[in-house]
Amino acid sequence: MKTAKTTLNIIRLFGVLIVLVLVAGCMPYSTGPTEVGVRTRKLGLFGPKGVEEKVYPPGSTYFFVPLLSDWHTFDTRLNNLDMSGSEAKGDRKSRDDLLFKTIDGNDLSLDIIVAWRIDPQQAPKILQEVAINMDELKDNIIRTVTRSKPRDVFGELMTEDFYLADKRAAKAAEVVAVLNKILNPYGVIVENVGTADYRFSPEYQKAIEDRKVAQQRAEKAKSTTRATEEEYLSKVEEAKGEVGKVKAEADGVFEQAKIRAEANFKQEQKTAEAIRLEGQAEAEGIRKMNEALSGAGGEAVVKLAIAEALSGKKIMLVPMGEGFDIRSTNINALLDMYGIKSIARDAQAPSGASQSVAPSAPPAPKPAPPPATSKSAAQPGK
């Protein structure tokens, strides 16, 4: 009994000594601000042996016995896998772009950048099934997958489609979906796939450049043609404007002449109407004068007019025979013969009033009525 009890105490003491040794040999293990930690038990003294399912969060420090535990960390930041054809950039200092054929059979090289990160909750699974650190995960898993599947997806495009950014972006989104379908079970999440640059084979590139030059020349020719057409149309419009201007001026001159002609015509009409009315009035006055002179007082009016005409004149009587014709007689010679002309000059009044000698002759016939004047018209009323 004592022997069994002694043995038990020895075992307990030995255990305590082991614990003390283990505690004394503990080492600190830490995680960075963006890292998660995963512990692996080498011995199953205090739990099951192997990778723990527990995820140690960022920014922490833990103490484990190095002989009994192993420690791994994984960065949760967004990582980039840059595969470029230029040696000056990219993850590798050699040509690392994707080489493939387009669906229409042309060779093409494409630079892509894959943005990826790990799922922190799957860090134990990554450690147990995929990789023990980030570099191994990137080289063995991410690079292998992203150099094969994108070739297949981007190879579905026509060569000309690579000139169109929207079509490249659509295929890049399709690549993200394909990669996530493959890598998500491994604890990897692909956030984005970007196309940086693309290159064709030299022969095809030359053909493209030649075609671009031809297109530019064609566009230049079209532009020249359009410019010539626009210049021609401009000149046509300018000519139309000049014609319209000349026509407008001619129309203006015509309208002005028409207005003047109409004004002159109306003025002449008014003048003619005034002359007609004046003539009618004068004719009416003559008619009324004739009516007045044809009456009983007409002879008196004529005599009165003769008397007024002879008023202030000296009358001398000259003897004449019965067959005397005054129309064929030289009156001046007749007056000289009788000496009457000299007598008349001597007897002329100082006022300069002239003296007339009337031949003694039979009574003259009735004179024609004088023209209708304001003075004549007023005589009958005296």
Residue 60 sits in the same domain as residue 102: no
Residue 102 sits in the same domain as residue 185: yes
Tens digit of pLDDT at every position of the chain (382 positions): 556 667 766 666 555 445 444 444 468 899 999 999 999 988 766 667 889 999 999 999 988 877 788 999 999 999 999 999 888 888 888 889 999 999 988 889 999 999 999 999 999 999 999 999 999 999 999 999 999 999 999 999 998 898 899 999 999 999 999 999 999 999 999 999 999 888 887 777 777 778 778 888 888 888 888 888 888 888 888 888 888 888 888 888 888 888 988 888 888 888 988 998 888 888 888 887 777 777 666 777 777 777 777 777 767 666 666 666 666 777 777 777 766 666 666 666 554 444 444 444 444 444 445 444 433 333 443 3
Amino acid identity of 67?
L
Q: Could you say which DSSP state residue 180 is in? A: H
Cα–Cα distance measured from residue 142 to residue 126, given in angstroms and rounded to the nearest whole number: 13
Nearest CA to 371 out of 297, 275, 286, 283 is that of 286
Of the residues 75, 108, 133, the one at which a domain ends? 75
Domain extent, residue 363, equals 295-381
Longest Cα–Cα distance of the chain, Å, equals 229
Tokens of 359: 């031949």
- 133: CATH: 3.30.479.30
Residue 150 sits in the same domain as residue 45: no
Of the residues 166, 200, 234, the one at which a domain ends? 200
Domain count, the chain: 3
Burial 42-66 (b: 16+ CB within 10 A, else e): eeeeeeeeebbeebbebeeeeebbe
pTM for the model? 0.51
Contact 60, 30 (CB under 8 A): yes
Phi, psi angles (nearest 5°) of residue 200: -100, 175
Q: Could you say which DSSP state residue 127 is in? A: I
Burial 80-115 (b: 16+ CB within 10 A, else e): ebbbbbeeeebeeeeebbbeeebeeebebbbbbbbb
**End-to-end alpha carbon distance in the chain:** 201
Nearest CA to 144 out of 79, 98, 201 is that of 98
Residue 59 sits in the same domain as residue 89: no
Residue 63 sits in the same domain as residue 109: no
Task: Give a yes or no: residue 311 inside a domain.
Answer: yes
Task: Give a yes or no: residue 228 inside a domain.
Answer: no
Q: In this structure, what is the dihedral angle of CA atoms 9, 13, 18, 22, given to the nearest 10 degrees?
A: 130
Of the residues 75, 106, 129, the one at which a domain ends? 75
Task: Give a yes or no: residue 37 inside a domain.
Answer: yes
